[in-house]
Amino acid sequence: MTFLRPWVFWLLPLYLAIEALLYYKIRSNSFSLPTAGFVGARETWRTQILRRMLLLPILAAVLIVAALSGPQQVETTRETLPSGIDILVALDVSGSMAAEDFQPLNRLEVAKDVLRDFIRGRPSDRIGLTVFAGKSITRCPLTLEHQPLIRTVETLRMGDLPEGTAIGSGIMSGINRLTQQASSSPGDRILLLITDGRSNAGEIHPRDALALAVRQKIKIYSIGVGSNGKVPFPVALPDGKKTYRYETVDIDEDLLREIADRSGGKYFRATDPKSLQLLFEQINTLEASEPRVVETRTIQDRASSFAIPALVLALCYALLTTYIVRLP
């Protein structure tokens, strides 16, 4: 609550001073109250009402002054406007992402953690999500509503798609979303490709999808996830315990580098959680965007909230002094 004319409140001390003078003047008058002059006389219900109702005009005056001061209810709403950058994340959820070389979590869980931070750091960018294994599906279209997107990221898991690594399908799904939902000019569309393997599935060859991305002027940042050499994969035993088998996961770095170079992006290799986080921070620097937030202020006049109660109090006072207790 704010007041347009707060100086009006200085009228209150003046009014209260006048009321005090009048009150003491009436008290000094011998017939100010019906019981005056009668020591030990018992007050009637009318005199009791009279004593209490003297507060009514004071309260009414306070409310009238508050109404005259211009009370206002100010509400501020903030709206995040698109920055002009559209980002589509194509994330590998194939079985190889279960490798636990990114301790204490596996590759997918670490990628999800870093991706959540990346999304939170770009509030004015439209971001979408496609996942792929043996085939690809879109889990979230381009949106500025990032909380639902983050909740979708948290639900990602392996095993929901056919096994395999369809990099071409993942890129093509991202291209389709970036072109069908286009709202920004060419050059402001980015695809983040995150994978830990070599393309071995899908009907679309990665280079064919790359050619389309180049024609559509979609920049691709490719990230190879995984440490070098043999990596541990969890294996569930019949008794419920867990053991590990060690396998080598082959990342096609030459292809990922070609995809990034030809599209105008950049290739990164993340071998541990810290390096993956730093890579996303570097992408944030390369594709910086300024959050654009518009504030809208709505002002509502609240004078009636004080004037109406003041009118009610004044009416009650008039009725009491006219029909129930007459002032001397």
Q: Which pLDDT score is estimated for 31? A: 45
The fold of 80-292 is Rossmann fold (3.40.50)
Q: What is the pLDDT of residues 294-317, one digit of tens each?
A: 667 788 888 888 888 888 888 887
pLDDT winner (highest mean) among 13-27, 28-42, 255-269, 284-298: 255-269
Q: Which of 143, 220, 144 is nearest to 189 (CA)?
A: 220
One-letter identity of residue 113: D
Sort strands 219-225 and 189-195 into parallel, antiparallel or unpaired.
parallel
* Distance of alpha carbon 268 from alpha carbon 194, whole angstroms: 10
pLDDT at 32: 45
Domain boundaries, the chain: 2-70+302-324, 80-292
Tell which residue, 167, 143, 163, has the closest CA to residue 91: 167
Residue 229 per-residue DSSP state: S
Other beta carbons within 10 angstroms of residue 234's beta carbon come to 12
Query: How much is the pLDDT for 244?
Result: 87
The C-alpha atoms of residue 39 and residue 42 are separated, in whole angstroms, by 9
pLDDT tens-digit map of 72-93: 888 887 766 666 789 999 999 9
Evaluate the omega torsion of the peptide bond into residue 104 and state whether it is cis, within 30 degrees of 0: yes
How large is the average pLDDT for residues 245-268? 91
- For 269, residues 6+ apart whose C-beta sits below 8 A from its C-beta are 223, 224, 251, 253, 275
List 80's β-bridge partners, or say none.
Answer: 293
Of 311, 309, 306, 294, which Cα lies nearest the Cα of 73?
306
**Residue 68 confidence (pLDDT):** 83
Q: Looking at per-residue confidence, does 110 or 286 come out higher?
A: 110
Cα separations in angstroms, 87 against 90, 119, 214: 10, 10, 16
| Interaxial angle between packed helices 11-28 and 55-68, expressed in degrees from 0 to 180 and rounded to the nearest 10 | 160
Tell me the whole-structure pTM to 2 decimals: 0.67
Q: How far apart are alpha carbons 67 and 308 in whole angstroms? A: 9
Measuring CA to CA, which residue among 92, 252, 256, 250 is closest to residue 161? 92
Between the alpha carbon of residue 317 and those of residues 59, 64, 312, the distances in Å are 11, 15, 9
Residue at token pair 């990628």: 111
